């Protein structure tokens, strides 16, 4: 378990710290790893984690980790280069650029769009369905872990454990529908090209600079009312989500297998806010009333799949880390998760 990070460098170290289970998993696989759409919130730390795990497993750098993005953040590029990750610039909406990418037997597909969906739905559909189609063709036959979201599920009762992987999708809004489109495209291409696929339905990653807990902590600190209508959530430390996604390379399958990636607990938003209030010495301000249902994912399948190899950061520790980070005024990404949204308009 990492120590509480006190700056961005320490946070990156914590988010990219590989587990022994991940080292063993990647050590058992052959070939390079390519991360497509690596310039987002999770991509840089995931790519660095893969590099650190391979360095531990192999003791040399015969196997490459390649991180592909348009790369608007020069600092992220420099940090990855220093860590031994091969950085490639490519616009994945450019078919020629996709076709020029180096082939690798292990693919982590992270490209996609959520924020701004309501203002530019056509771009969202292009990023979430056309890009997967081109990448699925380019990397035919490779093991593929495709990032998706719990938003493909319907809202479920707060008294339940959430939607199972067997729950019929019922996406609400353009973003969720386009994410299901991404899953369908990659599933079809996986079957066509015999590419084993795992669909990583993530819900919600937290990394101190962003996440549901950070959203709540900032509102508690600033006295901003917290809407309780979406009355419960699931959360997971981003470092744990990174490790799980990389380990799913060894669990990809035909046909594509969906995996709910989150913590086991259904966490009431009111309880989380009060816990953060205790740590921040502020009384949360609430508005609205908890609805009987919420966007929840049941992760028992994930935990059964990995067993004792899966150790997640406890929620109390994540609350401690988040409150400390926000209270100290450390940097924030400035992109709210919008977990409160119930109509699919992001």
Average pLDDT over residues 273-279: 98
Structural domain span for residue 253: 8-207+235-264+296-312
Residues paired with residue 87 on neighbouring β-strands, in sequence order? 67
d(CA 84, CA 66) in angstroms, rounded, equals: 9
Average pLDDT over residues 17-29: 95
Q: Residue 335 above 90 pLDDT?
A: no
DSSP per position, 233-266: E--EEHHHHHHHHHHGGGG-BSS-EEEEES-S--
Average pLDDT over residues 90-118: 91
Mean pLDDT of the chain: 95
In a domain, 227, yes or no: no
In a domain, 118, yes or no: yes
In a domain, 12, yes or no: yes
- The 10s digit of each residue's pLDDT in 241-264 is 999 999 999 999 999 999 999 999
In a domain, 271, yes or no: no
Q: What is the CATH number of the domain that holds 150?
A: 3.40.50.720
- The 10s digit of each residue's pLDDT in 148-175 is 999 999 999 999 999 999 999 999 999 9
Q: CB under 8 Å to 65, separation ≥6 — which residues?
A: 32, 33, 34, 35, 47, 50, 51, 54, 84, 85, 86
In a domain, 303, yes or no: yes
In a domain, 26, yes or no: yes
pTM for the model: 0.95
In a domain, 218, yes or no: no
52-55 contacts at long range (C-beta below 8 A, 24 or more positions apart): 52/16, 52/17, 52/18, 52/83, 53/18, 53/22, 53/23, 53/26, 53/27, 53/246, 54/26, 54/27, 55/84
Q: Residue 47 above 90 pLDDT?
A: yes
- Percentage, residues of the chain above pLDDT 70: 99
In this prediction, residue 115 has a pLDDT band, given cuts at 50, 70 and 90, of: low
Per DSSP bridges, beta strands 232-233 and 267-268 are antiparallel
User: Count of domains in the chain?
Assistant: 1
Q: Residue 116 above 70 pLDDT?
A: no
Q: Find, among 4, 7, 12, the residue nearest to 238 by Cα.
A: 12
In a domain, 246, yes or no: yes
């Amino acid at each position: 378990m990492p120590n509480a990070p006190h700056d961005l460098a320490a946070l990156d170290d914590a988010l990219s710290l590989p587990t022994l289970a991940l080292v063993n998993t990647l050590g058992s696989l052959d070939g390079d790893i390519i991360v497509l759409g690596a310039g987002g919130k999770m991509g840089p730390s995931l790519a660095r984690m893969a590099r650190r795990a391979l360095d531990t497993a192999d003791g040399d750098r015969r196997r490459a980790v390649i991180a592909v993005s348009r790369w608007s953040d020069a600092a992220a590029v420099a940090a990855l280069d220093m860590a031994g990750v091969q950085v490639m610039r490519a616009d994945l909406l450019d078919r020629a650029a996709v076709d020029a990418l180096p082939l690798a037997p292990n693919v982590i597909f992270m490209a996609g769009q959520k924020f701004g969906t309501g203002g530019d739905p056509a771009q969202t559909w292009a990023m979430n369905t056309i890009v997967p189609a081109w990448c699925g063709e380019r990397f035919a036959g490779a093991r593929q872990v495709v990032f998706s979201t719990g938003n493909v599920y319907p809202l479920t009762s707060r008294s339940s454990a959430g939607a199972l992987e067997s729950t019929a999708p019922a996406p609400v809004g353009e973003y969720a529908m386009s994410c299901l489109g991404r899953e369908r495209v990659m599933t079809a291409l996986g079957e066509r090209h015999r590419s084993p696929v795992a669909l990583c339905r993530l819900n919600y990653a937290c990394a101190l600079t962003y996440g549901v807990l950070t959203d709540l902590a900032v509102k508690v600190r600033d006295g901003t009312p917290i809407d309780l209508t979406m009355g419960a959530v699931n959360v997971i430390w981003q470092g744990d989500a990174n490790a799980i996604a990389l380990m799913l390379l060894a669990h990809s399958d035909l046909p594509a297998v969906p995996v709910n990636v989150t913590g086991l607990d259904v966490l009431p938003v009111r309880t989380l806010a009060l816990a953060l209030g205790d740590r921040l010495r502020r009384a949360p301000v609430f508005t609205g009333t908890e609805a009987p249902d919420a966007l929840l994912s049941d992760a028992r399948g994930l935990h059964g799949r990995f067993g004792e190899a899966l150790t997640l950061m406890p929620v109390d520790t994540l609350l401690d880390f988040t409150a400390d980070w926000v209270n100290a005024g450390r940097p924030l990404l400035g992109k709210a998760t919008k977990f409160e949204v119930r109509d699919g308009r992001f």
